[in-house]
Structure 1
Amino acid sequence: MEFVEADGLKIAYERVGEGPPLVFVHGAAEDSRIWQPQLAGLADEFTVIAWDEPGAGRSSDLPEGFALAGFADGLAALIETLELGPAHIAGLSWGGTVVLEFYRRHPGLVATLIMIDTYAGWKGSLPLDEVRARVAGARRMLTGPLEDFDPTLPGLFANDPPAKFVPLLAAIAADVRPATLEHELAIMAETDLSDLLPHIAVPTLLIWGDLDVRSPLRIARQFQEAIPETELFVIEGAGHMSNLERPEQVNDVVREFCRTHSSRTG
């Protein structure tokens, strides 16, 4: 792992490969390790970066009052420090919401967007009753006995997690900081970035598991209808974590998309 300093925060990241820059942004209750198949599979052609967002992995704890803009600006600081922009920017789940805010605040650093099983914030993508149910469920989990705390939300996989990634998932879950997760889920519940989608002016790739129950395929259709230059690739038999359930397929479609638009990168 390597580190940069941004606004007093230490931000950890992993960097592999050489070529056009491709940055991966993980979801809630995760860190950069969730992108291991992408780091390994795409480094032959791209400079692949996966960060630990503030409050996760080996990065600093979240400062008090840290907002969605703070995550977006931290990502911008990483990309600017490494002189990567404009770059291909990929976000999974909560990470996709961070990426959208990043694009809103720093469009010059973005060559393309890759949105994987994500949301325009929960408020921007889910019915109000579903948002309330998720908030209530998170509150029960986070306020229960410590020994019962399990950051692995239901419905992440279409079936059982791939056996080869079970140790990885256990290691990531063991390092989750409950305060960070609570803060992220609160931000998601109040975030609506749906008004940004029609104004996205870079090529955008949507990758969705057809069996995703956390961010159902209808949300991908909403993105597809709203974003002017977009394409949707549906991963059959995958749930919310399509990058782990079908890593070869995800890598292949990301590779082809980034190749097509490589002239846009810095």
Structure 2
Amino acid sequence: MFLEKINVQPEYIVGHSFGGRIILKALAQKKLFPKKVVLIASAGVTKANATRNGLLFLLAKLGKFVVGLFLLPSFQKKIKQRFYNLVQSDYSTAGVLTGTYLNIIKEDLSGLVKDITVPVLLIWGSDDKATPLSDANFLAREIQGSKLEVFEGKTHFVHKEEPEAVLGLIKEFCR
């Protein structure tokens, strides 16, 4: 793990979506030892999400082909970004790591999270389509001592929609 190689163990760590998935796995495998963890709309615990993401990947590839036939490259990029925004996907930021990203999201971490022993703050938007609130409720039940904060009417990007409120929760939790 990168942090081991550079000999760093953070006291606090925050992860959103795919970053949360990485943190969950590292915590469960005892490769990361922070005092506290904040997970914002974390991925990793629903097989349905992996299926959904696979379908979105296929839809995106088909869309890219169709759009490529009819639109100039400058419009193609705008259409692509609107699609990813519509489905609240992190896929648009995967870039050259797209293959790695797709392999990782197939793994369901549900069976591992019960092994997490550090305090975890879960921050979620009630209208999150990428990582549904049911995932947050599962994590809150399975991770002993976790705390769930839900923002009504907010999406997968709750930290962008309510930055000051999210930051306030993080500061309070990390005291």
Considering fraction of residues, name the structure with more strand: 1
Amino acid of the structure 1 residue aligned with 2:159: N
Structure 1 counterpart of 2:132: 216
Identity %, equivalent residues? 27
Q: What is the TM-score normalised by the length of structure 2?
A: 0.78
Structure 1 position 88 matched with structure 2 position 5: no
Unaligned runs of 5+ in 1: 1-72, 158-172, 260-266
Amino acid at match of 1:96: G
On the 8 A contact 1:142/1:182 being kept in 2, the answer is: no
Matched, 1:198 2:126: no
1:106 is displaced (CA, Å) by: 4.3
Tell me, yes or no, if the aligned pair for 1:155 and 1:240 is still in contact at 8 Å.
no
Residue equivalent to 1:234: 150
Equivalent residue number for residue 99 of structure 1: 23
- Partner amino acid, structure 2, of 1:241: F
Q: Deviations over 1:214-263 (max 9, x none)?
A: 1111110111111111010011231111111100110010011101xxxx
Determine which of 145, 159, 183 is the counterpart of 2:100: 183
CA distance 1:192–1:129, shift in 2 (3 Å): closer
Residues in 1 aligned to 2:65 and 2:28: alpha-carbon distance in whole angstroms:
34
The aligned runs of 1:33-182 (5 Å cut-off) are 73-78=1-6, 80=7, 83=8, 85-120=9-44, 124-127=45-48, 129-140=51-62, 145=68, 147=73, 148-149=76-77, 150-151=80-81, 153=84, 154-156=86-88, 176=93, 178-182=95-99
Length, aligned pairs only: 162
Whether 2:160 is the aligned partner of 1:244: answer: yes
**What SS does the corresponding residue of 2:167 show, helix, strand or coil?**
helix
Conserved? CA contact 1:88–1:111, under 8 Å: yes
Alpha-carbon distance between aligned partners in 2 of 1:119 and 1:132, rounded to the nearest angstrom? 14
Q: Partners of 2:62 and 2:38 in 1: how far apart? A: 33
Task: Provide structure 2 residue ranges, at least 5 long, that are not aligned to the other structure.
Answer: none
Instruction: Supply the RMSD in Å over aligned alpha carbons.
Output: 2.7
Alignment-mate amino acid for residue 102 of structure 2: L
After superposition, give the CA deviation of every residue in 1:107-128 in whole Å (9 maximum; x if it has no partner): 45322221111122xxx41426
Decide which structure has greater helix share: 2
